[in-house]
Amino acid sequence: MNLSFQTRIVLFFSALFLGVQILTMVCVYQVSHDNVIKQIAQNLVYAEQVFNLALTERGKRIASETRILVADFGFRTTVSDGDTKTIASALENLRLRIHGQRAFYVDLQGKTVTDTGGRRQGTPFMYPEALAEADRLDEVVVFGVLEGELYEWTVVPVFAPIPIGYLAVAIAVKNDGVVQLKHLSALPLEITLLENLTDQSRIFTSSLSLSMQQLLEAKSIQQMKSESTGLEKMQLGGTTFITRLQSLPSATKNQTIFAVLQIDFAQAMLPYWLMFYAALALLALGLIATLLGSIFIAKTVSKPVRVNHHSKVSTYHHRIFSSLDCRVIVFQKLFFVV
């Protein structure tokens, strides 16, 4: 395929311009991508710290309120006497004061003496491991499941002056608190609290949409970790989330509670797309300017070439005719002589 000189010049400059611009766009995208990843990582670390602080502060508040009750002489006397109605009344007052949902008094044998919910009296306390930790640390704040719902538990031993039992207070982990923590992040943060089961997960509360929750619930923690690369990217229904998994202190080894902190990568990239659109607009304008400029340059350069070509043709023809004239003259002279 034969291309004219002008066309070759236009194609050369256009290809050169496009190559440079595409390379620039790739570099800009890579830098923006890396910046977004770093920003998301910083936000997830900050969100995790805020989340832990919120849980710790609430746990400390519950523990301090519980310690005030167990330090009361009247309460210790009531517990020592074994008056279950008086114990239940004291526990109810504590529950109302700290806005808890359930309160339990457990004896040293691990048997539930009083339950403000009125359903577990006389049964073994569901978290004996938490009682052992409370003996060792004087208080413990853990997460455990009760009747299908997630609770934050504070367990404190009761002394009179020797240990005579345990006081356990449970506060439900509600979706309102998760939503409040979500708004503390500069990027669109999603928080999910779930229990890790054998082949899937069970979600207790989440700021994700219901469809996303179903997709996340179908995964197990092992699947989440195996699918995660780098900063733990997770695919949910075509949406890429940068994910951070945090294990929460569980009331028993048989239950593993996780907090899943996620940021939608596409939403985090939205501010950068404006820059890309502006760059594409400049690329289009630059390409038009390059085409016009290369056409002008091609015409300017090719004009002297044409003139020079015509000049060479004219000189060649002149030489040919001059040579013929000489031959005719020589021939005439020879003929005249003869």
DSSP track, 12-76: HHHHHHHHHHHHHHHHHHHHHHHHHHHHHHHHHHHHHHHHHHHHHHHHHHHHHHHHHHHH-HHHH
Higher pLDDT, 6 or 247: 247
CA 94 and chain centroid, separation = 39
Q: Give the mean model confidence (pLDDT) for residues 181-198.
A: 75
Confidence at residue 329, expressed as pLDDT on a 0 to 100 scale? 44
The alpha carbon dihedral of 87, 92, 95, 96 has a sign of negative
In terms of Cα–Cα distance, which of 91, 138, 142 is closest to 112? 91
Q: How many CB atoms sit inside 10 A of residue 190's CB?
A: 23
> What was the pLDDT predicted at 129?
92
What are residue 291's phi and psi, to 5 degrees?
A: -60, -45
The model's pTM is 0.66
- Distance CA(187)–CA(264), nearest Å, equals 9
Higher pLDDT, 12 or 230: 12
Q: In terms of CATH architecture, what is 58-172? A: 2-Layer Sandwich (3.30)
Domain extent listing, the chain? 5-11+273-337, 35-55+175-271, 58-172
Question: Tell me, what's the pLDDT at 313?
Answer: 45
The residue among 7, 12, 18 whose CA lies nearest residue 288 is: 18
SS3 99: coil
Residue 299 CA to residue 74 CA, distance in Å, equals 105
Rounded Cα gap, residues 25 and 279, in angstroms = 8
Quick one: residue 191, left, alpha or beta (phi over 0 = left, psi -120 to 50 = alpha)? beta
How far apart CA 101 and CA 259 sit, in angstroms, is: 21
Q: Is 302 exposed, middle or buried (0-12, 13-18, 19+ CB in 10 A)?
A: middle
Rounded mean pLDDT, 300-321: 52
